[in-house]
Amino acid sequence: MSGTFTIVGLGPGDPELITRKAARLIGEADVVAYHAGVRKSSHARRIAADLIPSEVIEEELRYPVTTGTTDHPGGYVGALTDFYEGSAARMTAHLDAGRTVVLLAEGDPLFYGSAMYLHDRLSPDYPTDVVPGVPAYAAATAALGTPLVRQDDVLTVLAGTLPEPELARRLADTDGAVIMKLGRTFPAVRRALHAAGRLDGAWYVERASMPEQEWRPVVDVDPSTVPYFSLIVVPGDAAHPGEARRMRTGAEPEAQTTRPENAAELLVIGLGPGPAEWLTPEASTALAEVEHVIGYAPYVNRVPQRPGLTRHSSGNTVEVDRARQALRLARAGERVAVVSGGDAGVFGMAAAVFEAAEDPEFADVPIRVVPGVSAVQAVAARAGAPIGADFAVMSLSDRLKPWEVIACRLRAVAEADLVLGIYNPASHSRREQIVAARDLLLEHRDPATVVIVGRDIGRDEESLTVTTLGDLDPETIDMKCLLIVGASSTRVTASGRVWSPRSVPAGALL
């Protein structure tokens, strides 16, 4: 009969924050295991020292490496993988002998904890339990005596090891934040806080709940002194201080100085299909000067965060609503950019902005569209020159137009023998349109007609497939794809490049 494996959370450092359940289980254990750093004593064991029975078997799991380099053939990841495998084998020997094994874990076991890697390896085969512990950020917030989040505030917990632009983006998009894993990452984290406009109001807390705990504003911290046991707390109140003051005192927030209603030019910017090098210099310059960026969340996320920039993300089906939001901000004198992937004028936000601007309320707001590389151009360039001759572009989405209209236009394009670029060919819930479109095109085109399927072009996962209309498998098509259906004259070279001749013989369609 095998023993049981229990991971107990010990909290952030103060032994008095250990739960009663954790204390009981430690006292009843046959084996107590704990991690230790390279050439360091175990912090977990120090916290629980007074609870460990004298007769218990102790298993120290000492890391082979925590920072720096290693000569392991698998590098850092390989060294730690072997370490966790070896640690699991040591636990397995005790469990197979019927012993009760307790693994000590700082903070909460499943919150950025090493204990989870042994849980992954042992829980499928042995009875396993986890006792939660007070996480470090809870102790840090208590030390500050400052509310972390209120009411509908969103709290985001971030690793300081994230790339600096990504960290800045996420800090700008949340109310309250906790940043873990500092140490050598602190300089980049501080820059990210500055870029997100969250440096003021951010607090650094070191060794929370321990006798030597201390805290100070992040702006006052010497980066060379930051240890591993530290984190940053960004209270949600710092994101909207006026509302926080009202909640605390009942007083109305202080009046904010706003610009007079003198409309600024509203920019509608195409970001291109994805790679930063496909963003035009004009678009890049414009984005560097605006104060607000508005758009579908994945596109807004592509705009680097910087001081003075406020980001407004929304879902994919509220184009006119976000256009109105942008127009109102521009009308109040704010410098605003609405962003789209590809070219904003090709199934993008430009048309939605002009639709919303028909409201007399926005008659005085000037609008400028900044072009971008369109998705059909990107796919065509990867394939060769399939749109080197006359071509048409259509969307198969029937959200804004009935299928009967789409079918009529598909038929007209097919009968005209035009190259056809197809946007929005399919989605998880909309699978029948691509099947119907293929069948309709086959009524007018040879099954051998060339078809190009571009997926995630310009991104790391990109793929390009050259097939035929007859062999096109609709099950392989989704919203990440753009299709180019060739004309009867479209050709494929011996090397697999696709192109369409510019010349058309007289009477070709007669």
Ranges of beta strands (E only) in 212-328 are 214-217, 230-234, 266-270, 292-296, 310-314
Q: Which residues contact 100 (CB under 8 A, 6 or more apart)?
A: 3, 4, 6, 28, 29, 30, 31
Edge to edge, the sheet with strand 336-340 lists: 310-314, 292-296, 336-340, 266-270, 367-370
Give the Cα separation of 134 and 19 in Å (integer): 9
Residue appearing with tokens 């020292």 = 49
Torsion from C-alpha of 387, 391, 396, 401, nearest 10 degrees:
150
Query: pTM here?
Result: 0.74
Which residues in the chain come in under a pLDDT of 50? none
Give the Cα separation of 36 and 462 in Å (integer): 43
Closest CA to 185 of 177, 193, 173: 193
SS3 category, 489: coil
CB 419 within 8 A of CB 390: yes
Ranges of beta strands (E only) in 49-200 are 57-62, 101-105, 128-131, 155-159, 176-180
What pLDDT shows up at residue 447? 96
| Burial tier of 302 (Cβ tally within 10 Å: 0-12, 13-18, 19+) | middle
Q: Per-residue pLDDT tens for 37-77?
A: 888 899 999 999 999 999 999 999 999 987 777 888 889 88
Tokens encoding 507: 């009477």
| Secondary structure of 98-122 as H, E, C letters | CCCEEEEECECCCCCCCHHHHHHHH
Taken in order of first residue, the domains within the chain and their CATH numbers are: 5-134 (3.40.1010.10), 138-249 (3.30.950.10), 266-370 (3.40.1010.10), 377-499 (3.30.950.10)
CA 36 distance to own-chain centroid? 33
DSSP type of residue 476 = G
249: phi > 0 → left, psi -120 to 50 → alpha, else beta; which? alpha
What pLDDT shows up at residue 39? 84
Edge to edge, the sheet with strand 498-499 lists: 384-385, 498-499, 491-492
Alpha helices in 371-480 (DSSP H): 375-383, 403-415, 432-442
What pLDDT shows up at residue 167? 95
SS3 category, 93: helix
What pLDDT shows up at residue 70? 86
CA atoms within 13 A on the CB side of 158: 31
CA atoms within 13 A on the CB side of 470: 5
Give the Cα separation of 226 and 216 in Å (integer): 12
CA atoms within 13 A on the CB side of 122: 32
Angle at 491 between CA 487 and CA 496, to 5 degrees: 130
Q: Per-residue pLDDT tens for 89-146?
A: 999 999 999 999 999 999 999 999 899 999 999 999 999 999 999 999 999 999 999 8
CB 483 within 8 A of CB 452: yes
Give the Cα separation of 503 and 236 in Å (integer): 63
Torsion from C-alpha of 190, 193, 194, 200, nearest 10 degrees:
-100
What pLDDT shows up at residue 65? 85
What pLDDT shows up at residue 138? 95
Residue appearing with tokens 């940053």 = 232
Give the Cα separation of 383 and 403 in Å (integer): 29
